[in-house]
Structure 1
């Protein structure tokens, strides 16, 4: 996130009586972000993988900072909506769904917003040197059903699910 630009832009919006929110994956330095926090009326925070080993394997980075920032935002009383992109074979595993539910319950969060996976950027993968995973091949993935199953799981865990 470009902190200085986002902060200046948010300040101008607030001065114009506009509601300001931000979307983040949580990978930011808290010290740089904290001073801008009062400018945002809501925060959409994307949770992908809770297990640190799975996060490192799939995303390629540690998630300690991400999870710590989620905690800090809640402790600060921010209006945080946790969202989860439902990516078949990655974020929709039983282990991850349980981990996400536990993470939210432990923090007394009652709602999760599920994001339906879409293959819009998939065609760019080969140009970037990445293969298209076999499970993402056309006809081998049903994102709507995958999201519906995740929704059923979270509802059974007592969470309100939005999408």
Structure 2
């Protein structure tokens, strides 16, 4: 029986998470809650509705959502416009979203089998072959759906399709071992080297993550590490030096590439759709100055023998 997972997005023809042209599946659920997360809809493991109030036609002109909602008072209106959902009442049945003609209510997530995912993946086989691309599974945290990912990657290998796993590795090593046999490339983050600060900004300490990365570095898999460079959080030199020490000493510098990803104000509209405040709203920075700082960080890593680039494009990965 084919495995299932809850997928909240599928991107075809992407070039950012692995080499070549890729199809990328994003799976719901994550043990971390990073303050800078650009995909807050990924954090919950459940299918949930998001509200885009500006699209609402109005209860007086439409009202389909209110008529099908099984829990009175779940939908919150102001001046006849849907503005939010009372999450303490909503049962996430998605009846409202199915009836909304204006897409003012978006369904974040849908259950998908491996067979259904492969139907989408195989549409672009020729592009994977011509570009040396393949399939990437990301999240959220895809290892919360490890059986699904393991079967999907095995099916990809049966079709000679390259596979990439993008994971936090905040899980038991036995879970990771289920997926590794059919994984060609691994991408992961090093968000902060200090366990206390890591927990402060992500909700979870980093001990298990670092231990798993040590084990992973010994598996012979191609490994890309990313640092989401967050101003005032992990961009200071003490943390940068500690990160470089870890890569060199604990991982044996067995890293294909280190990528520095500049903080961007992503996901604000998604937070609003979920009725949540944007955690990074107070961050104000000089973009040019910040970018220059990131270039200096890259120069430091390269100077110490860790291959480092700024960005995530396929061209950079392939070099």
**Same fold at TM > 0.5:** yes
2:280 equivalent in structure 1: 132
1:28 to 161, 165, 171: 171
Structure 1 runs (4+) greater than 6 angstroms displaced: none
Distance in structure 1 (CA, Å) of the matches to 2:148 and 2:276: 28
User: In the alignment, which residue of structure 1 is the partner of 2:127?
Assistant: none
Q: Distance in 2 between matches of 1:15 and 1:101?
A: 37
Distance 1:145 1:120 in 2: 20
TM-score (norm 2): 0.47
Q: State the partner residue of 2:230.
A: 87
Counting strand residues as a fraction of each chain, which structure ranks higher? 2
Counterpart of 2:248 in 1: which secondary structure? Answer: helix
**1:145 offset after TM fit, Å?**
2.5
Tell me how far 1:121 sits from its aligned partner: 1.5
Q: CA deviation at 1:146?
A: 3.4
> Which residue number in structure 1 is paired with residue 302 of structure 2?
155
Give the conservation status (yes or no) of the 8 Å contact 2:265–2:280: no
**Post-superposition offset of 1:30:** 1.1
CA distance in 2 between partners of 1:153 and 1:73 (Å):
25
Q: Please identify the structure whose Cα radius of gyration is greater.
A: 2
Question: Structure 1 residue 54: deviation in Å?
Answer: 1.2
1:116 Cα deviation after fit: 2.4
> Structure 2 stretches of 5 or more lacking a match?
1-141, 311-319
**In the TM superposition, what is the alpha-carbon distance from 1:63 to its structure 2 partner?**
0.8
Number of residue pairs matched by the alignment? 160
> Quick check: 116-125 or 32-41, which moved more?
116-125
Alpha-carbon distance between aligned partners in 1 of 2:170 and 2:177, rounded to the nearest angstrom: 13
| Equivalent residue number for residue 245 of structure 2 | 102
CA distance in 1, matches of 2:239, 2:193: 7
The alignment's TM-score, normalised by the length of structure 1, stands at 0.87
Aligned to 1:10: 153
CA RMSD in angstroms, aligned pairs only: 1.9
Query: What is the DSSP-based 3-state SS (H/G/I as helix, E as strand, rest coil) of the residue aligned with 1:128?
Result: coil
User: Which residues of structure 1 form unaligned runs of 5+?
Assistant: none
Separation (CA, whole Å) in 2 of partners of 1:156 and 1:124: 39
1:20 aligned counterpart, secondary structure: strand
Alignment partners' CA distance in 2, 1:72 and 1:50: 17
